[in-house]
Structure 1
Amino acid sequence: MARQVFVLVGTRKGAFVLESDAARRSWQLRGPFCETWPTNHVVADPASGTLYAGGGNEWFGPAVWKSTDLGASWTHSSQGLAYEAGQDPVKSVWSLAVAGDGTLYAGVEPAGLFRSTDGGESWTHLDGLQKHPSRPEWSPGGAGLILHSLVLDPADPKKIWVGISAAGVFASEDGGLTWEARNRGTRADFMPEGQNYPEFGQCVHCLVMAPGGRGRLYQQNHCGMYRSDDGGRSWESIEKGLPSSFGFPAAVHPRDPDGLYLIPLNGDIKGRFMPEGNAAVWRTGDAGASWQAQRTGLPQGGAYFNALRQAMATDTLEPAGVYFGSNAGGLYASNDEGATWDCLAPHLPTITSVETLVLER
């Protein structure tokens, strides 16, 4: 059997799918799909190969699109993607995650969590997150009050972590019935002096889980880069050696829990682009103790773009592939763990998310 690699791209004007063989040297681009709806996140169920795309806005409304033929055809549903009467309406779906049993989760704006057990045809609101005592005090980040990061524990389906801008990281160990804030050790520099380490209110940008099942998490925050070795109960800064404490996406190595990729920007109030206009992906192989800039093949000089919070991913091949998309529409890929880079597609719409799928065909 031959391996096929798919890169799933969400953009402001629909979803795109790129396909290659295991060598990852030549790619076929297909799309745009989802009727060019604003698409915030595209994911795959690795067991079935089913694709899901979440998006919408206050004009279109929220929806999750579904393809069972790798993008050739799509359907969508918003049944149940709504809060109870009297609450602010759901504007869009921001994040998706598929559990090992096929259960599908969706994070939305305003921040909340929904679950589907029928492949996205209908949805149930998991209102335990909305009932957290801190909910009345959550404040929106620059993109709104969005639940943008969804992390499921592959070994325990009842464990869920979410990242909310700008409320912080929350975790559930009972399948979403109850939640606790897990932000100890992460800064909120925008808070008044003396209140920079609150229980909640941090502006987390991206939350990912390392492989290996040891409860290690990484996050890229508005105010630093962090690692947790205890499921988010405490966080340690790992930003030393990076050119900035500000950026959006993070992606873990598929097999090495000490491997992480970040894209630091030049700062939150200085333009939010690649430092000095030189594109780089920064990698650590020792859990953040040291960092190396990977630039070969990336534009150097005049690269005044950034990468958004869900726009970087790795694949599961050996060596691992690394991919990121820019807000300027460029999709970049490395088939050697970031040592060298190529541009797969230079002129897509603004890229909001990048994920991968590897299938045996």
Structure 2
Amino acid sequence: MANTVLILVGTRKGAFVLESDAARKEWSLRGPFCETWPMNHVVGDPATGTIYAGGGNEWFGPAVWRSDDAGRSWSHSSQGLAYPEGETPVRAVWSLGLRNGSLYAGVEPAGLFESRDGGKSFSHVAGLREHPSRPEWQAGAGGLILHSMVLDPDDHDRIWVAISAAGVFHSADGGRSWEPRNSGTRCDFLPEDQRYPEFGQCVHCLVRAAGSSGRLYQQNHCGMYRSDDAARNWRSIEAGLPSTFGFPAAAHPRDENTLFLAPLNGDTAGRFMPEGKAAVWRTRDGGETWQDLRAGLPQHNAYLSVLRQALATDTLEPAGVYMGTTSGELYASADEGESWTQVASHLPGILSVETLARPG
């Protein structure tokens, strides 16, 4: 049983760590770390307690930072995080994933790298950028970024990634070959007769449901979707939500039917929470119905925005839910979203939120 819970926060000016016991009522804050580099994603390895932070920009370049002591000290490396000479340089690391001793990094311009030595060096998983559709990939508003990855915990060869704005791609052979998996997701920004292309969708977030059923969820620029067949086909589950637009999604750690969202009011309407009233939305039935959760969240002049990796759950019982905003507030719920507490404020703009539960 976990005795300590960490909230790992990536911001525009470094990484932060919040710590609490299993009750999750009081939190202590440490940071900023990583020399205040922009940190797009901070994750923890539950097997070792190691924390990894990925970030950078066109000035700093890309790097992955590592801490083996819960964030008190850090080292970093960019070895191998580069494309061949003549290609557009890697600007930043945008997403991190851990599985079976491997650390994966999704980068901008969109591509995938793997480290087998704990982030000391990386090798390019070249098959993704060799896909025939690559010359037609288009950048989203935030750039051409690989921002989400799903690593099958039971099959080391299966990987799903999401790229803005190229769509979802899947590999069944460890990254040597890939296929687009976007059937059923629409592109409202294309002419009506082209709205369901093979690739080119603007995916905002891709997450795996608990269990081994093959269920995935995605928040798209153009709707909310669920797949029950490992992303071969998608169906809309946006009915009942206040908007078809948002960035993050967070899956329950044990229940495949429970998902949390933070919808925004639209891509051209300000990209803040509808009516300036903060809410996290939850489904308990795989997206058939939705409930807005507001207790403890601001309901007046709350023009908050939450980015694609800034909503997370923990593994405790009941599951905790955590949400970070671009204006630097961090909210926590220890009861699956029924009630919320602001546990940090005035942080730099929050880019990602993840959790790490550990003994001791």
- Scaled by the length of structure 1, the TM-score of the pair is 0.99
Q: Once the two structures are superposed, what CA deviation does each residue of 1:155-191 show, in whole Å capped at 9, x if it has no partner?
A: 1111000000000000001111100000000010001
Q: CA deviation at 1:193?
A: 2.0
Amino acid at match of 1:37: W
Amino acid at match of 1:341: W
Q: Distance in 1 between matches of 2:238 and 2:16?
A: 33
Write the mapping of 1:7-26 to structure 2, written as runs, cut at 5 A: 7-26=7-26
Write the mapping of 1:25-174 to structure 2, written as runs, cut at 5 A: 25-99=25-99, 101-174=100-173
Q: Distance in 2 between matches of 1:358 and 1:193?
A: 47
Q: CA deviation at 1:2?
A: 5.8
Q: Secondary structure at the match of 2:327?
A: coil
Amino acid at match of 1:215: G
Please tell me whether the aligned partners of residues 2 and 357 of structure 2 are also in contact (alpha carbons under 8 angstroms): no
Q: Distance in 2 between matches of 1:239 and 1:193?
A: 20
Q: Distance in 1 between matches of 2:236 and 2:29?
A: 39
Q: Distance in 1 between matches of 2:203 and 2:320?
A: 25
Aligned to 1:259: 258
Q: Distance in 1 between matches of 2:214 and 2:174?
A: 16
Please tell me whether the aligned partners of residues 11 and 39 of structure 2 are also in contact (alpha carbons under 8 angstroms): yes
Q: Distance in 2 between matches of 1:139 and 1:260?
A: 29
Aligned to 2:198: 199
Q: Distance in 2 between matches of 1:140 and 1:282?
A: 28
Aligned to 1:277: 276
Aligned to 1:235: 234
Q: Secondary structure at the match of 2:262?
A: strand
Please tell me whether the aligned partners of residues 245 and 265 of structure 2 are also in contact (alpha carbons under 8 angstroms): yes
CA-based RMSD? 0.7
Please tell me whether the aligned partners of residues 45 and 102 of structure 1 are also in contact (alpha carbons under 8 angstroms): no
Q: CA deviation at 1:346?
A: 1.3
Amino acid at match of 2:44: A
Please tell me whether the aligned partners of residues 8 and 15 of structure 1 are also in contact (alpha carbons under 8 angstroms): yes
Amino acid at match of 2:64: V
Query: Greater CA deviation, 151-160 or 140-149?
Result: 151-160
Write the mapping of 1:191-340 to structure 2, written as runs, cut at 5 A: 191-340=190-339
Q: Distance in 2 between matches of 1:285 and 1:46?
A: 26
Structure 2 unaligned runs (5+)? none
Q: Once the two structures are superposed, what CA deviation does each residue of 1:275-297 show, in whole Å capped at 9, x if it has no partner?
A: 00000000000000000000000
- Scaled by the length of structure 2, the TM-score of the pair is 0.99
Q: Distance in 2 between matches of 1:215 and 1:193?
A: 30
Q: Distance in 1 between matches of 2:136 and 2:129?
A: 11
Q: Once the two structures are superposed, what CA deviation does each residue of 1:76-106 show, in whole Å capped at 9, x if it has no partner?
A: 000000001111000000000000x220000
Q: Secondary structure at the match of 1:194?
A: helix
Amino acid at match of 2:253: P
Q: Distance in 2 between matches of 1:345 and 1:119?
A: 30
Structure 1 unaligned runs (5+)? none
Q: CA deviation at 1:192?
A: 1.6
Identity of aligned residues (%): 71
Q: Distance in 1 between matches of 2:40 and 2:220?
A: 19
Q: Distance in 2 between matches of 1:290 and 1:279?
A: 19
Moved over 4 A (4+): none
Q: Distance in 2 between matches of 1:12 and 1:221?
A: 23
Q: Once the two structures are superposed, what CA deviation does each residue of 1:7-28 show, in whole Å capped at 9, x if it has no partner?
A: 0000000000000000000001
Q: Distance in 2 between matches of 1:341 and 1:133?
A: 46
Q: CA deviation at 1:266?
A: 0.5
Q: Distance in 1 between matches of 2:141 and 2:300?
A: 28
